[in-house]
Amino acid sequence: MDPEQDELRREIAELGRRVARLEAVLAQSEAPTEAPCTETRTRRGENLETRIGSRLFNRVGIVAVLFGVAWFLKIAFDNRWLGAVGKVCAGVVAGLGLIGWSEWFHRHDYDAFSYSLKAVGAGLLYLSVWAAWSLFHLVGLPVAATAMAAVTAGIGILAWQRESEILAFYAAVGGYLTPVLLSDSRNHEAELFGYLLILGAASMALIAVRPWPRLALGAFAGTAAYGIGWYACYYSDPQFGLTLGFAVVFLVLFAVASVAGRTLTDSRVVFVTEILNAGFAFVATIFLFSPDARAWAAFALAGFYFVLARFRRASAHDLIANCFVLAAVSFGIHSYWRTWSGAGFSSAYRAVDEEICYSAWFMVSGAILLAIGFWRKSASLRWQGLAVLCFSIAKVFLVDMRALSQGYRVLSFLGLGALLLAVSFAYQKDWLGLRGGRA
């Protein structure tokens, strides 16, 4: 036998064994991957059934238990089975007992049921304290408020310890329902917003250490709802200073939530919270300030968001700041022509001049945003500039064409046309290489 052929056969046999070992290893690595996929598909197939059985029935069960307890208490009240103190004590004992019982289920890994029992127990505690204050007059308002705040704080601490967002939600719902339960139809501005401030600060502290951005959105929604309701019922000009102070504190609190909450993961919820907070600040500027002071307030808000943007580098803050700049100059234009109208100028001429100023301002601001966007190679700023220019186009064709005189119409269309041609030329030249995806 030729030694070379023998050596070749040995090498081929060795290669065959190596290939066989590689195939065995590959088969072992692929086997565990297929099983979880099958298991995942099974879980997905049972997803609807699981949700109905474990979640929907769970929620309905909570409501049913609350209705049952409430109905039993009504029967007990109607038949005078218990005195006032006994009724309150029974509710408190039942609430604490349910919360204690829920811990047994938590230790046995029935977390969903455990949290549901905690929610029912907390609800009983809130109702018992409310009854002690409102129905039986056993305690005063400060004691009732302190007791409800203690219940909220206890559930919040449990949520932090258990790392449970749903428990934090239960605590927030109870906390924001407390002022409704303790309402006596009188104006308690300092007490109400001081309490909401503590509640909001506690929520922000939780999201600073837990990835719960929806808690910030819920806290903002609750605070805004109370703010709107209180303003509609009780606000008057002598309360301007205190109201403005609370408004500024709440604005800062919810604006810096995304800066402090480094663990936040759902950027969409954070973005919605920031936009709603800024929108509420804009509405508050209109309702709290006189027409002559709105421009300065909007400029102050723009400066605040520009500073905030430097800390987080968030495009949302730049967008909000630019919107406040647009609003501030618009307020200034309105105030300027309002002053001229008061000096004896015709309101018709004032309206025409004011409209052309608005059009010119939006055209110029759109061009400035585009120029800065090109200079800084910022797609966000360029899109903002394009949006403002689109608004200018809509205003020229829908408002100026009807409201302005012929001379002003010519100026408005010529200015808009020249600006749009310049912008189109810049994009056609592709100075930033946008077509190649380089900016």
* Tens digit of pLDDT at every position of the chain (439 positions): 556 666 667 777 777 777 777 777 666 655 444 434 433 444 444 567 676 666 677 667 766 766 776 677 667 667 766 677 887 888 888 888 888 878 877 777 777 778 877 887 888 888 888 888 887 788 888 898 889 889 988 888 888 888 888 888 888 888 998 898 888 888 989 989 999 998 898 888 888 788 788 888 899 999 999 999 999 999 999 999 999 999 999 999 988 765 555 445 556 787 888 899 999 999 999 999 998 899 999 999 999 998 888 776 556 788 899 999 999 999 998 888 777 655 555 555 566 677 778 888 888 898 888 888 888 888 888 888 888 888 887 777 777 666 666 666 676 667 767 777 777 766 666 555 555 444 5
Q: Tell which of 129, 164, 185 closes a domain.
A: 185
C-alpha to C-alpha distances, 341 to 54, 327, 332, 354, nearest whole angstrom: 67, 21, 14, 11
Do 180 and 74 sit in the same domain of this protein? yes
What pLDDT score does 304 carry? Answer: 93
C-alpha to C-alpha distances, 384 to 64, 187, 362, 378, nearest whole angstrom: 51, 42, 12, 10
CB 122 within 8 A of CB 95: yes
Do 108 and 19 sit in the same domain of this protein? no
C-alpha to C-alpha distances, 119 to 58, 68, 87, 219, nearest whole angstrom: 12, 15, 20, 18
What pLDDT score does 100 carry? Answer: 86
Do 18 and 130 sit in the same domain of this protein? no
Do 36 and 129 sit in the same domain of this protein? no
What pLDDT score does 242 carry? Answer: 94
Q: Tell which of 143, 165, 185 closes a domain.
A: 185
Tokens of 317: 């803050």
Torsion sign over Cα 227, 229, 232, 238 = negative
Q: Tell which of 185, 214, 240 closes a domain.
A: 185
C-alpha to C-alpha distances, 196 to 179, 189, 201, 224, 248, nearest whole angstrom: 9, 11, 8, 10, 14
Other CB atoms within 10 A of residue 48 CB:
9
What pLDDT score does 47 carry? Answer: 66
CB 439 within 8 A of CB 426: no
Domain-embedded: residue 259: no
What pLDDT score does 421 carry? Answer: 73
Do 407 and 434 sit in the same domain of this protein? yes
What pLDDT score does 241 carry? Answer: 94
Do 157 and 97 sit in the same domain of this protein? yes
What pLDDT score does 235 carry? Answer: 94
CB 1 within 8 A of CB 8: no
Other CB atoms within 10 A of residue 387 CB:
14
CB 366 within 8 A of CB 386: yes
Domain-embedded: residue 50: no
Do 154 and 70 sit in the same domain of this protein? yes
CB 389 within 8 A of CB 419: yes
What pLDDT score does 301 carry? Answer: 95
Domain-embedded: residue 420: yes
Provide the 3-class DSSP secondary structure of residue 108. Answer: coil
Domain-embedded: residue 102: yes
Q: What is residue 131's DSSP assignment?
A: I
CB 137 within 8 A of CB 108: no
CB 412 within 8 A of CB 386: no
- Looking up tokens 């421009």, which residue turns up? 295
Give how far the C-alpha of residue 112 lies from the chain's centroid of Cα atoms, to the nearest Å.
Answer: 25
> Containing domain of residue 30, as a range?
1-45
Residue type, position 50, single letter: T
Q: How many domains, in total, are found in the chain?
A: 3
Do 174 and 106 sit in the same domain of this protein? yes
SS3 of 160-175: the string is HHHCCHHHHHHHHHHH
Domain-embedded: residue 301: no
- How many angstroms separate the CA atoms of 375 and 39, rounded? 53
Domain-embedded: residue 271: no
Do 70 and 23 sit in the same domain of this protein? no
Do 3 and 100 sit in the same domain of this protein? no
Of 276, 315, 316, 284, the residue nearest 300 (C-alpha): 284
Domain-embedded: residue 336: no
Domain-embedded: residue 427: yes
E-strand stretches of 222-372? none
Do 168 and 73 sit in the same domain of this protein? yes
Do 83 and 149 sit in the same domain of this protein? yes
- How many angstroms separate the CA atoms of 78 and 98, rounded? 25
347: Cβ contacts below 8 Å, ≥ 6 apart = 341
pTM over 0.85? The answer is no
What pLDDT score does 297 carry? Answer: 95
- How many angstroms separate the CA atoms of 152 and 273, rounded? 23
